[in-house]
Amino acid sequence: MNTNYIIKRVPRSRIATFDIFTVGLSRHHIAAILEFDVTVARNKLREMRRNGINISFNAWIVKSISRVLEKNPEACAYLYGKRKLVVFNDINISLVVEKEIEGNKVPMPMVIDRTGEKSAADISREIEQAKKRELSSNDVVISRKTGLAEKVYYLLPGFARRIVWRVMLRYPTIAFREMGNVIVTSVGMIGRINGWFIHRSVHPLSFGIGSVIKKPVVADNEIKIREILNMTILADHDVIDGAPMVRFLGDLTDQIEKGAVTIE
């Protein structure tokens, strides 16, 4: 019998992605599609590498976001009930890292706890350790072993798994412990994409990092070639209104474009 196809099993971690997308469609996210001039920051990172200090661009972005959220913690608060917000003192950021498991490249989440207390160098080392960590097809999160609850979750039918997500999101302390209050997914770091991608998330604040593209822009009243980062940001409109979000985005722009975060 002649066959012209193969059947491959979907990695276990991808099942949660399906559920997150479905539940995320019901969240009241507003999207901001932005460009950031990261020329200054990338030049600083290159200079540090020449001096033996290796900080990845992803780690620098995570630390930059964390620093701005320390000043704007309501931007990543969780809605509790219909009239209350839970604002956490810590910024726990979930980061998606591509791993190879049994010959397949799979996006795997890791949670970087207490990013406000860690330097960009600390975060960079944590990400590199996660990339090197050996995982099996049974693992679903890089930063910890799969527990009994996770194993049961993946045995449930789709509708029941999505109920689990909706229930968890009603209890912010559980959601914060399991997945943090911010997520950063950097699809653009895998390959050069001259554009943006609109992602989905169940987090109150989500960042979709695109590629860094050289573009002509007006700087100091002159047309110059600059390194521009494409980014999509989703913010929960139940948590933050338009005006506070604009102020948050203004602070984030200043932080990123000035390259304020270095080794600290």
CB 46 within 8 A of CB 54: no
Under DSSP, the state recorded for 108 is E
Secondary element (H or E) of residue 127: helix 120-132
Specify if 2 maps to a domain. Answer: no
**What pLDDT score was predicted for residue 230?**
93
The upper half-sphere exposure of residue 68, i.e. CA atoms within 13 Å in the direction of its Cβ, equals: 27
Number of domains making up the chain: 1
**Where is pLDDT greater, at 234 or 104?**
234
pLDDT in tens, 213-251: 999 988 888 999 999 999 999 999 999 888 888 999 999
> Count of residues for the chain?
264
Specify if 206 maps to a domain. Answer: yes
Query: Which domain does 233 fall in, by range?
Result: 12-257
Specify if 225 maps to a domain. Answer: yes
For residues 29, 31, 37 and 38, what is the CA-based torsion angle, rounded to 10 degrees?
Answer: 40
Write down the pTM of the prediction.
Answer: 0.86
Between CA 46 and CA 16, with CA 248 as vertex, the angle to 5 degrees is 80
pLDDT in tens, 1-40: 566 888 877 777 677 778 888 888 888 898 999 999 999 9
Nearest to 247 by CA among 71, 37, 62, 61: 71
Pairing mode, strands 182-185 and 205-219: parallel
Specify if 128 maps to a domain. Answer: yes
| Distance in angstroms (rounded) separating the CA atoms of residues 63 and 150 | 29
| Distance in angstroms (rounded) separating the CA atoms of residues 121 and 52 | 12
Specify if 42 maps to a domain. Answer: yes
The domain that holds 196 is classified in CATH as: 3.30.559.10
pLDDT in tens, 181-206: 999 988 766 667 777 888 888 999 99
Specify if 95 maps to a domain. Answer: yes
Specify if 5 maps to a domain. Answer: no
Specify if 1 maps to a domain. Answer: no
